[in-house]
Chains A and B, each alone.
Chain A
């Protein structure tokens, strides 16, 4: 469960005020709103990448409001994917596990498992510069899932993809959601994405978040 209570976050002169919402465990919530409405700011606050002025963020039963990003158990896929450019796909997928001190055998096994799930087996030795948009998106998703997060934050993951790749990625996201059962917050401004993927639709407008349709 992701629970946000009276949350206020500032990004420059922009302020999100008294944000309240709750996403049940295992659900996929889609957060919609216009460009510049604060979707990314809210996502960054959830991930611990932006300081919170007031309020509480709970993930599961833990208050993570002031917790370091790496301790929150969130897999984060930013809008621009932000793959590690000097690493291969294999190293990108393994990164979180290496940093967390996993044993090499387990890292290899997990990378293989993710590569099979996301169709990345033939791309493991490529660098991000040599990937298509859809491939890069799958790597970014795999890198986030590698640490077995309980929560997934996706920032407009399909916005830069063509129609065909987007359709393919819908399938991937549905499969990931079904297999990993992670509680997901998916940011988009595309209504068809919301219809396709959402258990719960949230709308962000004028610095406030409202529930449009419930689970």
Chain B
């Protein structure tokens, strides 16, 4: 009696579970398919010969070099700021901490064009003009790095904060009792334990910098052989109707992004990476 009751109650429950999970899989699967379809469409649209031709183009070679240089510098600068700031936010409570956290979310949620415009206006202020008189920034290479940095660094800070949150401060406390100063405990104990997070934050900042376009367009312009990075190349090639070259450059960026993801999966902390993406 009991068995028949449980099976008659259990059967619709199982069916409903299967339907529910299938519904989730269909909805999620559609999005995954969309991503794969976009990449496959790009790859199918172009040929290896067109990619090689794009690679031979002098302008695109300059864009690749500038992209590699600016993204790497941005990643380093983002870590240079992200590590101490992430550590500070993770370990200490201070007045105005909530405000600082809200400010750090601004670059993540702000429309990219608005960010570029804000940078442009900042360098029209007296302080900005003073900096410009020493180092030309606007419409020059430093503006590319600054535009990338202003967005990528926010992601690095979030990632490092999550990383330090996951490292219990107890080991640091033991180090203090053994004779370390706070700085020594950080350098010798906490930072080595955070290496996966550092790798993740650096890679995330690098990948974000590579994909940055809006702020660069407004703040740096799109001048060939001067402030052209790969995202600008796609825009410039599209604007003159050279769709093949635009797609070839896009494929290069897709490969670079996939390489960054593999690096994070292989060496970095995937959980930290995902949580670092959250605003």
Instruction: Report which A residues bind B (CB closer than 8 A).
Output: 44, 47-49, 68-70, 72, 74-76, 78, 80, 82-86, 95-96, 99-100, 143-144, 146-147
Contacts and interface: CB of A to CB of B under 8 A. Distances in A.
Nearest to B174: A82
B193 interface: yes
B180 A70 contact: yes
A49 B180 CA distance: 13
B71 to A, nearest CB: 28
A100 B179 CA distance: 6
B163 to A, nearest CB: 13
Contacts of A47: 173, 177
B171 interface: yes
Interface in B183-215: 184, 188-189, 192-193, 195
B179 A80 contact: no
A95 B193 contact: no
B170 A78 contact: yes
B176 interface: yes
A147 B178 contact: yes
Contacts of B176: 48-49, 68-70
Contacts of A95: 175, 178, 188
Name which of B171, B179, B193 has the most chain A CB atoms within 10 A of its CB.
Answer: B179
Interface residues of B, number: 18
Contacts of A146: 178
B185 to A, nearest CB: 9
Nearest to B171: A82
B83 to A, nearest CB: 16
Contact of A86 (B174, B184, B192): B192
Given A99-B184, A99-B188, A86 B193 contact: yes
A99 to B, nearest CB: 5
Name the prevailing secondary structure of the B interface residues. helix
B170 A82 contact: yes
What are the 4 tightest A-B residue pairs by CB atom distance, in nearest-first order? A96-B178, A70-B179, A82-B170, A86-B192
Contact of A82 (B173, B180, B184): B173
Contacts of B14: none
Contact of A49 (B171, B177, B181, B184): B177
Nearest to A147: B178
A76 B171 CA distance: 11
Contacts of B174: 76, 78, 82, 143-144
B15 interface: no
A72 B177 contact: yes
Nearest to A75: B177
B56 interface: no
A69 B178 CA distance: 8
B171 A83 contact: yes
Name which of A78, A86, A96 has the most chain B CB atoms within 10 A of its CB.
Answer: A86
A96 B179 contact: yes
Contacts of A86: 192-193, 195
A78 B176 CA distance: 13
Contacts of A144: 174, 177-178
A48 B181 CA distance: 13
A99 B180 contact: yes
A84 B189 contact: yes
Given A83-B171, A95-B175, A99-B180, 19 more contacts: A47-B173, A48-B177, A69-B173, A69-B177, A70-B178, A70-B181, A74-B177, A76-B174, A80-B168, A84-B175, A85-B171, A86-B192, A95-B178, A96-B179, A99-B179, A99-B184, A99-B188, A144-B178, A146-B178
